[in-house]
Amino acid sequence: MSMTPVEIPIIPKIRKNAILTFLSRGTRVDERSFDSPREINIKTDLIPNANGSSYVELGKTKVLAGIKVEPGTPFPDTPQEGNLIVSVEFLPHASPVFEPGPPDERAVELARIIDRSLRDVRAIDLSKMVITPGRKVWNIFIDIYVVDYDGNMIDASSIATMLALLTAKIPKVSTTETGEIIISEEKSENIPVKKKVVTATIAKITDENTGNKYYIADPSLEEEMIADTLVTIAFSEDGLITGMQKSGLSSIHSDDIPKILNMSRKLAEKYLAKINEYITLKTSTTPSI
Amino acid sequence: MGILKPGIKLFTDEGLRIDGRRPDQLRPIKIEVGVLKNADGSAYVEYGNTKILAAVYGPRDPGARHILLPNRATLRCRYHMAPFSTHERKSPAPSRREIELSKVIREALEPAVIVEAFPRTVIDIFIEVLNADGGTRTAGVTAASLALADAGIPMRDLVAGVAVGKVQGILVLDENEQEDMYGEADLPVAAMPTLREITLLQLNGVLTEEEFYKALELAWQGINQIYKLQKEALKKRYAGAEEEE
């Protein structure tokens, strides 16, 4: 059963007022503009035993994503496709309010948002992830670890997922003359990422005293704590909307939707630029074998 | 959302849908309020073959004190599908989908309920899908908001929900299960119609920006129609109670 969060981390009233005062002056406590994300730091290939891994810092939010690719059986309704399985774990390390145990509703929701953002737009060409058609396919397990929580886990997870997918290596599959299928020991193939996709989250903060509404990109934890609603929109690099989710205790006025959509699109472009910059730099500096 | 299997036709040559509707047409909607004796509030809603039973208990004392909030009521919500509601039996254990939808539906109702009126209490909302034929979450929200009203809980507005699908390039209102399964996108929306506040917004699938705005407009059309039916059902239950039988 889903319940109104009761373990709300307490934000001092003076801090809340400070955040609102900054917003009323058109800026934010950390000196960002309303549409700017925090600084993004990226590392990949940190986990030798994983097929792909990435570590993303979005401000002080830290997310580690690991990909394992293993042979499995296809689902009956998609016999010619590999499988994509996304899971999210909030490590107890990440926040005093995270407890060990099975994923809570927020972790389930987050995993499903990431999954949906990738699936229908066919960000990964799952038809290329087949070993023996109808019998054996690759299972792509994406496991997202939230390591330190300072707001906006969704976008940090989405960026980490994309980077882990783009840098993952999987074994080469070949068929011998006798028709035998050989999965090589060496991991030399890429996961067929056809389109890069990222989510972009906008928070709505309402000043109860003035009634003013503020929309801000990539909320930090303290901004999230006083925000009443979040809207996450996923975009593919060719500009399509590939997913959407409103969350939080309040609502969004119909007239504000275009503003949110424009802000999130620009935010997504910034995330994608960062991902592209990292991948370009990595491929240009990695010595060829 | 799957790839269209060859041979499956979702529109007639005249441009009508498999169940005979125009693209902008809702299914036949049935709404009944106050259908249960014990619940503080209840409602039964049908969108075509999607059948939902919603019950509300509260504001009440949950027993467990630690879930109470000093300044407002705590909302609890369960969206659950009956094992017999689907083509293949669904395990009664809550799936990841049901866990997510319970949260999304709770957050669609939170903005409507005047929770500040009932500090240190809990309001329980139970949504049971008896038969699933697409649009179960939005029909669930529609039913739950009526059950809350039936329980006498003060609200800013009713919440009405409907999904818009993109099927073979065409935007369709209130898609059924087949259209959802073989369509390219599903956009469930719920809102407080008088306030024009959107309380549930999800997108599964792919839309261009232009399609999204058109789909949202179509959703509003459906929501406004459903809102009318919700109010009629409430009036029938309360204003017209004596006239009946």
Tens-place pLDDT, residues A104-119: 999 999 999 999 999 9
B contacts of A121 (beta carbons < 8 Å): 206
What pLDDT score does A89 carry? 97
Pick the residue from chain A with its C-alpha nearest to B187.
A244
Q: Per mean pLDDT, which range of A2-6, A86-90, A127-131, B6-10 is the poorest?
A: B6-10
DSSP string, A236-260: ETTS-EEEEEEEESS-EEGGGHHHH
User: Is residue A288 scored above 80 in pLDDT?
Assistant: no
A contacts of B199 (beta carbons < 8 Å): 246, 251
Mean pLDDT to the nearest integer, A81-99? 95
Residue A55 corresponds to which tokens in the numbers above? Answer: 């570590």
Contact residues, B window 208-227, toward A, CB-based 8 Å cutoff = 208-209, 212-213, 216, 220
The boundaries of the domain holding residue B57 are: 29-238
Binned at pLDDT 50, 70 and 90, residue B241 comes out as: low
Q: What pLDDT digit, counting tens, does each position of B158-214 carry?
A: 999 999 999 999 999 999 999 999 999 999 999 999 999 999 999 999 999 999 999
Q: What is the mean pLDDT of chain B?
A: 94
Q: Is B24 helix (H, G, I), strand (E, B) or coil?
A: coil
CA dist B164 and B173 (Å) reads 5
In a domain, B51, yes or no: yes
In a domain, B140, yes or no: yes
Mean pLDDT to the nearest integer, B12-28? 95
Mean pLDDT to the nearest integer, B142-171? 98
Residue A63 forms beta bridges with which residues?
Answer: A56, A146
CA dist A112 and A87 (Å) reads 8
In a domain, B10, yes or no: no
User: Is residue B153 scored above 90 in pLDDT?
Assistant: yes
User: The domain spanning residue B80 has which CATH number?
Assistant: 3.30.230.70
Binned at pLDDT 50, 70 and 90, residue A275 comes out as: very high
Q: What letter would DSSP give residue B93?
A: S
Binned at pLDDT 50, 70 and 90, residue B2 comes out as: low
CA dist A25 and B33 (Å) reads 48
Q: Please tell me the distance in Å from A197's CA to the nearest CA on chain B.
A: 12
Flag whether residue A249 sits within 8 Å of chain B, measured between CB atoms: yes
What pLDDT score does A284 carry? 83
Does A2 sit within 8 Å of B103, measured CB to CB? yes
User: Is residue B245 scored above 90 in pLDDT?
Assistant: no
User: Is residue B88 scored above 80 in pLDDT?
Assistant: yes
What pLDDT score does B95 carry? 97
For chain B, how many structural domains are there in total? 1
What pLDDT score does A181 carry? 83
What pLDDT score does A187 carry? 86
Contact residues, B window 181-200, toward A, CB-based 8 Å cutoff = 184-185, 187, 191-192, 195-200
Q: Which CATH architecture has domain A13-283?
A: 2-Layer Sandwich (3.30)
Residue B43 corresponds to which tokens in the numbers above? Answer: 């409602």
What pLDDT score does A144 carry? 98
User: Is residue A8 scored above 80 in pLDDT?
Assistant: no
In a domain, B15, yes or no: no
CA dist A48 and A46 (Å) reads 6
Does A241 sit within 8 Å of B208, measured CB to CB? yes
Q: Is A52 helix (H, G, I), strand (E, B) or coil?
A: strand
In a domain, B13, yes or no: no
Q: Please tell me the distance in Å from B235's CA to the nearest CA on chain A.
A: 26
Binned at pLDDT 50, 70 and 90, residue B63 comes out as: confident
Binned at pLDDT 50, 70 and 90, residue A182 comes out as: confident
CA dist A63 and A46 (Å) reads 13
Residue A68 forms beta bridges with which residues?
Answer: A141
**% of residues, chain B, pLDDT over 90:** 91
What pLDDT score does A228 carry? 94
Q: Per mean pLDDT, which range of A176-185, B129-138, B171-180 is the poorest?
A: A176-185
In a domain, B81, yes or no: yes
Mean pLDDT to the nearest integer, A204-223? 96
Binned at pLDDT 50, 70 and 90, residue B6 comes out as: low
What pLDDT score does B159 carry? 98
Contact residues, A window 189-248, toward B, CB-based 8 Å cutoff = 231, 233, 236, 239-248
Does B96 sit within 8 Å of A108, measured CB to CB? yes
CA dist A170 and A124 (Å) reads 14
CA dist B47 and B28 (Å) reads 6
ipTM of the complex: 0.94
In a domain, B4, yes or no: no
Domain boundaries, chain A: 13-283
In a domain, B121, yes or no: yes
User: Is residue B215 scored above 70 in pLDDT?
Assistant: yes
What pLDDT score does B242 carry? 54
**% of residues, chain B, pLDDT over 70:** 95
Q: What pLDDT digit, counting tens, does each position of B43-56 carry?
A: 999 999 999 999 99
